[in-house]
């Protein structure tokens, strides 16, 4: 029997982890394993998903479309040895992954007959597009959208009908007509994601024959920052404001001297930042991953700023 694999792609902060958590917490009773790939060396995504499934494997410090292809294969083999076997494996790519590279790894002869990539799904951040239309000009964004069987819209709550129509037209212009909004098409979308073999538009097979997209990780600069103790929230906010122009994505857990004993989850996508209470069981201290545009984001300067918090 070949295990179905669902590959989830999408830009940095698009909403991939949120979609996986939604899937894992559904009342469907399916045994789902997840492999999540964080670009940095701190595995924030695995922590954000842990608790929803016992089968979560985190791949860090690289990208499964290139440097971590071997780790992806090893993780899949680990899952294939589990008893009971998962019924579905979801592979969450990092936001900088080229889908063709992931498929290249998954079409490894060692896995042949054991796993089948049934569908490639791309999460498209509606807010990012309405905030800044130029995101759709990015070759990586285009490769992720073009390489998908279907698209899932995130952050679409509150969009006007005119904006939705414009988004559908934009996706149609990319040759994509299958665009699902979890707020409106929740049931149909869940059925498709749980049974990816029914998606059937053959993106994986097409991607397997494609050259890699002209996208490389050196467009990005990253910083992983940890501290055993707490930080000052007002100073942290000022530091983030200073860094924001060069940042694309930041996330992680923080302990604040202003809220002792309350672990916080910090998220930044583009210019939007949120801080919320994290799971109370979160390990104490601060663990942050910051990803910026190479040349605009200086990890050493960012580290110095954070140390001053
Ligand atoms: N309002 C709203 N926020 C969302 C939605 N999906 C994701 N978010 C928020 O967007 C931020 C990033 O979401 P994630 O699910 O972590 O995105 P991701 O694609 O896994 O991010 P990376 O893997 O780090 O690139 C978080 O603050 C989420 O709460 C959505 O549909 N609506």
By 3-state DSSP, what share of the chain in percent is helix, strand and coil, each rounded to 5?
35, 25, 35
> Residue 123 pairs with which residues in a beta bridge?
10, 152
CA distance 73 to 71: 5
ipTM of the complex: 0.99
Alpha helices, DSSP H only, in 132-180? Answer: 139-146, 161-173
Total domain count, the chain: 2
Q: Which of 48, 154, 156 to mutate to test the pocket of ligand 1 (most atoms within 8 A of CB)?
A: 154
Mark whether 23 and 48 lie in a shared domain.
Answer: yes
What residue owns the CA closest to ligand 1's atom 22?
A: 13
Q: What global pTM score does this model have? A: 0.92
Q: Give per-residue pLDDT as tens, 239-292.
A: 999 999 999 999 999 999 988 889 999 999 988 999 999 999 999 999 999 999
CATH number of the domain within which 105 lies: 3.40.50.300
Of 12, 13, 138, 181, the residue with max ligand 1 atoms within 8 A of its CB, to mutate for a pocket test, comes to: 13
Q: Residue 281 phi/psi, 5° resolution? A: -80, 0
Q: Angle 233-243/299-307 helices, nearest 10 degrees?
A: 160
Regarding whether 35 and 12 lie in a shared domain, the answer is yes
- The residues, any chain, with a CB within 8 Å of residue 131's CB and separated by 6 or more, are 270, 271
Which atom number of ligand 1 is nearest to the Cα of residue 182? 31
Last residue of a domain, one of 155, 182, 208: 208
**In this predicted model, what pLDDT tens digit does every residue of 73-95 receive, in sequence order?**
888 989 999 899 999 999 998 88
Q: Which residues of the chain have pLDDT under 70?
A: 40-41, 50-54, 61, 210-217
Q: Are residues 225 and 196 in the same domain?
A: no
Antiparallel, parallel or unpaired: β 32-37 and 88-92: parallel
Q: Give me the pLDDT at residue 95, please.
A: 84
Q: What is the CATH number of the domain that holds 259?
A: 3.30.1220.10
- Provide the 10 A C-beta neighbour count for residue 186: 13
Domain containing residue 296: 217-307
Question: Are residues 235 and 143 both part of a single domain?
Answer: no
Q: Is 18 in the pocket of ligand 1 (CB under 6 A)?
A: yes
Q: Are residues 179 and 224 in the same domain?
A: no
In this predicted structure, what is the pLDDT of residue 190? 94
Query: Of 208, 236, 266, which closes a domain?
Result: 208
Tell the burial category of 96 from Cβ atoms under 10 Å away from its Cβ (0-12, 13-18, 19+): buried
Which of 218, 222, 215, 216 lies closest to 291 in space, CA to CA?
222
Say yes or no: 238 and 265 in one domain.
yes
Could you say which of 208, 237, 260 is where a domain stops?
Answer: 208
The number of the ligand 1 atom at minimal distance from the alpha carbon of 267 is: 27
Are 201 and 244 in a shared domain? no
C-beta 251 within 6 A of ligand 1: yes
Q: For residue 106, how far is its CA from the centre of ligand 1 (angstroms)?
A: 25
| 94: exposed, middle or buried (Cβ count in 10 Å: 0-12, 13-18, 19+) | buried
């Amino acid at each position: 029997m070949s295990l179905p694999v669902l590959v989830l792609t999408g830009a940095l902060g698009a909403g991939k982890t949120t979609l996986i958590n939604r899937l894992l917490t559904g009342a469907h009773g399916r045994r789902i394993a997840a492999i999540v790939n964080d670009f940095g060396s701190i595995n924030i995504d695995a922590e954000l998903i842990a608790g929803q499934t016992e089968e979560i494997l985190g791949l860090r410090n690289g990208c499964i479309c290139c440097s971590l292809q071997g780790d992806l294969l090893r993780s899949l083999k680990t899952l294939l040895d589990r008893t009971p076997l998962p019924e579905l494996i979801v592979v969450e790519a990092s936001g900088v992954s080229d889908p063709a590279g992931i498929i290249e790894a998954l079409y490894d002869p060692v896995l042949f007959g054991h796993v089948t990539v049934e569908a490639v799904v791309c999460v498209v951040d509606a807010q990012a597009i309405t905030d800044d239309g130029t995101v759709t000009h990015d070759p990586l964004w285009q490769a992720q959208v073009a390489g998908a069987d279907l698209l899932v819209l995130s952050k679409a709550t509150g969009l006007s009908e005119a904006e939705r129509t414009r988004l559908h037209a934009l996706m149609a212009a990319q040759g994509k007509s299958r665009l699902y909004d979890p707020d409106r098409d929740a049931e149909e979308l869940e059925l498709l994601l749980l049974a990816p073999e029914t998606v059937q538009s053959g993106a994986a097979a097409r991607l397997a024959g494609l050259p890699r997209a002209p996208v490389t990780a050196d467009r990005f600069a990253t910083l992983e920052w940890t501290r055993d103790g707490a930080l000052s929230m007002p100073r942290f906010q000022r530091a983030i404001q200073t860094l924001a122009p060069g940042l694309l994505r930041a996330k992680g857990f923080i302990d604040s001297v202003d809220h002792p004993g309350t672990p916080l989850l910090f998220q930044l996508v583009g210019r939007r930042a949120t801080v919320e209470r994290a799971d109370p069981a979160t390990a104490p201290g601060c663990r942050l991953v910051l990803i910026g545009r190479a040349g605009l984001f200086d990890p050493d300067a960012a580290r110095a700023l954070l140390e001053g918090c």
